[in-house]
Structure 1
Amino acid sequence: MSGPRVRLVVTGDDFGYCPRRDRGMVEAFVAGALSEVSLLVNGAAASSAAQLARRHRIPAGLHANLSEGRPVSLSAGSGASLLGPSGCFLGKTGFREALAAGQVVLPEVREELRAQLSRFRDLVGREPTHVDGHQHVHVLPGVRQVFAEVLREYGVRYTRVPVERGLHRCEWLEPQLQTFAVALEKDALAAREEFQELGLRCPDAFIGLSTMGKDMSVSRIEAAIDQAVESIQIPEDALKGGRAITLELMAHPGYPSVSPVGGCGEGPDDFSQSWERLHELQTLLDPTLHNFYRQRGIKLCAFEDL
C-alpha cells in the first residue's frame, strides 16, 4: 500500500527502573520493535541501564522525574517543596495537587531538572537525544516553561507532546484514564505552544495513551497510526519534496518487576510489577505489527533521525 513516508519513534519509558524491565526493552530494541528509550536517572538500575544503552547503541533520552522516588539534586533536602516527609517526591497526584495549590517552588524544579540532565550525561556519556516527563509532568503549568528553558540551556532539541487524537472514541479506556487524558490534553496543547516558542521540536503526532498495558493490541496500534497519519496536515509539495510524517508511540514494555528489586528509591510500584508490561513487550514484538509497518512504509527511527 502506497502513501506518505512515515517515521515512527517507538519509545520505551522507565528505562533504568529495574533490571527486568530493562532486559525486556533491550530485547525489543535488538528485535527492531523499539527505537528509543527514556532513562530514569534516579531509577534503581540507572547505572546498569546506561551500560546496556552504550553496549547495544540504544538511543536514549531522559525521562525527567519530579513525581516518583528520591531526587537527584543534592540540595533537595528537608523542607523542599518537591518532597514529602519521607524525602521522596510527592507522587503523580500529589505533585499535581501541590502545583495547583501554588506550593511548588519552581526554582527547585529547575535545579532538579539540571541535576538529572547532569546525571544523565555522567551515566551515558553524552547529552540525551530527547527529554520527556515521567507521568507527563513536563507539560504542567509553570513546569513546562522551566522545562523548556532548561532543555534549551543543555542543547536538547526534542521532547514529547502527549496529545493523542480520538481518545474520546476509545470506549475501552477506563473512566479514570479518560479523565486524566482530557486534563493532560489541555496542558499538552498549551505546552506545545511554549515549546515551539523556545525552539523545541516534537513529532507531528503522539500515540500511547489509548494503547497502554492491557489496552494495547496490534489492531489498536494500527488504527491509532492510521488515524494519526490521516489527521496530519502537511502541504503536498512538502510531502513530494521528501518530508516524512513523524509519529511517536509511547510504550512501557519489559518483564514485570519483582519486589523489592527496582523503583526509584521506594521499591517497584504496581504498574511496574503488572503482567501488562510483558503484554506490551509481546505486542510490540508481534510479526503482524511489523508486517503492518512494512505495508504502510513506516520506518522506525530515533528522535535524532527525525
Structure 2
Amino acid sequence: MSAPAERRIWLCADDYGLSPGVNRAIRELIAQRRLNATSVMVVGPAIGRDEVEALRQVTADGACAIGLHTTLTAPFNPLTLHFSPLRGGAFLPLGAMLRASLLRRLDPDIVAGEITAQLAAFAELFGRPPDYVDGHQHVQIFPQVRDAFVRAVKAAAPRAWVRQCGRALPLAERLANPKALLLDTLSARFRSLCARTGLGCNPGFAGAYDFSHPVDFGTVMPSFLQGLPDGGLVMCHPGHVDEVLVSLDPLTDQREREYAFLASDAFPQLLQANVITLQAPAASATLSHTKN
C-alpha cells in the first residue's frame, strides 16, 4: 500500500484586530509556525498602528498570509456614512443580518460600498491589498451580500482568493451539524458566483463547531482534518481573554483552549500523523481555484 499523499492546508486565525489579547495570541502562534493565515478586522478596536506594525513584523518572512475579515454584523460600526440597515448606529446582529439577506431587504450597492471601504482601509494600513478576503460570522456567503462581496473584491483585490465555507464530507456527516449544513448550502451558490467571476477560493472548509459550551479543541481538530482536501482551510479563533474581548464577543475562554492546543506539541504531532503541512502562501495560486 502506498503512503498517503501529503496535504497542504490553510490554518487561518480569524479576528485579528478584535482585542489586544486576541492579537497577541495570533502573533505568538504565527511566530511558532502554528498558523499560516490571519484575517484582519479593520473595524475592530485593536487595529491601531502598533498592532499593525507588530503583525507586519511577525509575518515579514512571508510564511503567513494576511487577509481582510469583512465585518458586517454587530457590535461593530460601518466605515461608510450611509450604510443601512443599522441598529443603534451599529451593524445588525448576525441573526437579523441573515434574515435581511434571505428576505432580500439589503441594498447590494450600499453593501458593496462598505466592503470597498474596508478593502481600502486594509490597503492603507498594510500598504497593499489583502492576500485573501473572508467574512466575520461567514457574512460573505449570505444572499445579496455575496454578490456585493465578489464585485468589491474583484475590483479592489483581483489577485486575492476568497473563503467559501462548504465541507467536502458525505451527506450523512453534513446532516449531523445543522449550522455547518447551512454554511454548505449558502457556499454552493457562493462558489458558483466565484467561478463565474474568476475569483479563486479554498476547495474545502472546516472549523465550525458549537462555541456555546466548553470544548477540548484537541478532540475536534482531528475531525476537521478528516477528508479535508489539499488546499483546504480550517478556521480557528485563538486568543488571550482581556476586557476588550469580554465587552465585544461571547467567544472568550474557548479562545484560550484553542490557543493552548495550537501552541502545544500535540498539534504538530497531529499534522504529522495525518501527513499534513501548512500551506506556503506563495503557492496559493495553484491551490485556491476550484470548480463547482
Query: TM exceeds 0.5?
Result: yes
- From 283, 289, 298, the counterpart of 2:267: 289
What amino acid sits opposite 1:46 in the alignment?
I
The equivalent of 1:223 in structure 2 is: 223
Question: How far did residue 187 of structure 1 move?
Answer: 0.7
Name the stretch that deviates more: 139-148 or 38-47.
139-148
Tell me the SS of whatever aligns to 2:69. strand
**RMSD of aligned residue pairs (Cα, Å):** 2.3
Flag the structure with more relative contact order, 1 or 2, with Cα contacts below 8 A and sequence separation at least 6: 1
The equivalent residue for 1:30 is 31
The aligned amino acid for 2:153 is: L
* SS of the residue 1:14 aligns to: strand
**Aligned-pair distance for 1:214?**
3.6
The structural deviation recorded for 1:180 is: 2.9
| Alpha-carbon shift at residue 281 of structure 1 (Å) | 0.5
| 1:70 correspondence with 2:77 | yes
* Equivalence for 1:182: 181
Aligned with residue 129 of structure 1, among 128, 131, 153: 131
Q: CA deviation at 1:216?
A: 5.0
2:160, 2:208 → 1: CA distance?
23
Q: What aligned pairs does 1:256-271 form with structure 2 within 5 A after superposition?
A: 256-258=241-243, 261-262=244-245, 267-271=247-251
How many aligned residue pairs are there? 274
Give the share of equivalent positions with the same residue, in percent. Answer: 24
Question: 1:177-256 counterparts in 2 under 5 A?
Answer: 178-210=177-209, 214-215=214-215, 217-229=217-229, 245-256=230-241
Once the two structures are TM-superposed, the CA of residue 81 in structure 1 deviates from its matched residue by 2.2
Is the 8 Å Cα contact of residues 174 and 180 (structure 2) preserved in structure 1?
no
TM-score by length of 2: 0.86
Runs of 4+ in 1 over 6 A off after TM superposition: none
Contact 1:170–1:210, Cα closer than 8 Å, also in 2: no
Matched, 1:53 2:55: yes
**Residue identity opposite 2:236 in structure 1:** A
Work out the CA distance in 2 between the residues paired with 1:166 and 1:105. 36
* Gaps in structure 2 of 5+ consecutive residues: 285-292
Distance 2:45 2:171 in 1: 33
Asked if 1:108 is matched to 2:107, the reply is: no
Alpha carbons of 1:2 and 1:49: their partners in 2 closer, same or farther (altered >3 Å)? farther
Q: Retained in 2: the 8 A contact 1:167–1:210?
A: no
State the distance in 2 between where 1:142 and 1:89 align.
16
Q: 1:284 to 1:168 in 2, by over 3 A?
A: farther
- Gap regions ≥5 residues in structure 1: 230-244
Write the letter of the residue equivalent to 1:223.
Answer: S
**Equivalent residue of 1:13, what SS?**
strand
Counterpart CA distance in 2 for 1:137 and 1:39 is 15
8 Å Cα contact 1:65-1:137 kept in structure 2: yes
**What pairs up with 1:2-13 in 2 under 5 angstroms?**
2-13=3-14
Over 3 Å counting, the alpha-carbon distance change for 1:305 and 1:201 in structure 2 is same
What do residues 212-264 of structure 1 show as CA deviations (whole Å, max 9, x unaligned)?
Answer: 684453343223313224xxxxxxxxxxxxxxx21211000011232xx258x
Q: 1:98 aligns with which of 97, 100, 110?
A: 100
Aligned-partner Cα distance in 1 for 2:150–2:31: 32
Distance 1:182 1:65, change over 3 A: same
